[in-house]
Amino acid sequence: MNRILLVEDHERLARLTCSGLEAAGIAADVVHRGDDAWAALQQVPYGALVLDRGLPDGDGLALLQRLRARGVGVPCLVLTARDALRDRVEGLESGADDYLAKPFAMDEMVARVRALLRRPTVCRPLDPALGDLQLKPADGSVCCGVERISLAPAEMQILLLLMHGSGETVRRAALEAAAWGLGEAVTPNALDVALHRLRRKLLAIGSRQRVVNVRGLGYALREAGVAA
């Protein structure tokens, strides 16, 4: 879809950008505030988002982070008056796909928006969450509130499978296959060792989720203090 959303509070700049894009065959809807952008993005499947950082109701990057956390994968070009390396890094870490410093040449804006529109809109999956736990597969860690701890790859795979089960019992063999792959020779107690480490890590970050042994069947995540 060749329609984009431009989020820019500077009205004259927004108007100029809009006409520049339209002259290049790209229709643009304009909003001036982050909350209006949020509402518009829930309703219209835009092909791309051009987002100013300095908005009257907050930093455009905070909005982008909220969008990404909700799984909104629309390709995004972040605009800023600042061109420091730190700003570019922050932008990319917040889920921006590209970055353009103000003032910009209209030709460059059009070229960058075209490049974004050629990208498929991937739906970025939400980080898996269960109870007070949030898994961050991209950086190999798990969080409970502001606490965060790194997981070994096998621990990550085990926790992913347990969280995916949402409290359902997962068999030992399934956990072993997830952690080390099928047919790989693992010592008989490798899973017990990994589960022991995982339990300690969940306690260390203050989670109420416990990996419990469901006698004869396998393992499950249960919240401490809640009857099985």
Q: Which residues bind Ca ion (CB under 5 A)?
A: 9, 52, 54
In whole angstroms, what is the distance from residue 127 CA to residue 149 CA?
15
Q: Which residue is nearest to Ca ion (CB)?
A: 54
In the complex, the smallest distance separating the C-beta of residue 91 from Ca ion, rounded to whole angstroms, is: 14
The residue among 59 and 223 lying less far from Ca ion, judged by its C-beta, is: 59
In whole angstroms, what is the distance from residue 143 CA to residue 133 CA?
6
The residue among 9 and 57 lying less far from Ca ion, judged by its C-beta, is: 9
Mode of pairing for the β-strands spanning 129-130 and 133-136: antiparallel
In the complex, the smallest distance separating the C-beta of residue 198 from Ca ion, rounded to whole angstroms, is: 45
The residue among 52 and 97 lying less far from Ca ion, judged by its C-beta, is: 52
In the complex, the smallest distance separating the C-beta of residue 99 from Ca ion, rounded to whole angstroms, is: 15
The residue among 54 and 58 lying less far from Ca ion, judged by its C-beta, is: 54
Bridge partners, residue 6, by sequence = 30, 50
The residue among 17 and 207 lying less far from Ca ion, judged by its C-beta, is: 17
In whole angstroms, what is the distance from residue 49 CA to residue 163 CA?
33
The residue among 102 and 119 lying less far from Ca ion, judged by its C-beta, is: 102
Helix (H, G, I), strand (E, B), or coil: what is residue 7?
A: strand
In whole angstroms, what is the distance from residue 154 CA to residue 177 CA?
10
**Under 8 Å between Cβ of 132 and 150:** no
In the complex, the smallest distance separating the C-beta of residue 5 from Ca ion, rounded to whole angstroms, is: 15
In whole angstroms, what is the distance from residue 93 CA to residue 207 CA?
26
In the complex, the smallest distance separating the C-beta of residue 55 from Ca ion, rounded to whole angstroms, is: 6
Bridge partners, residue 214, by sequence = 218
Longest dimension (CA), the chain: 69
In the complex, the smallest distance separating the C-beta of residue 84 from Ca ion, rounded to whole angstroms, is: 16
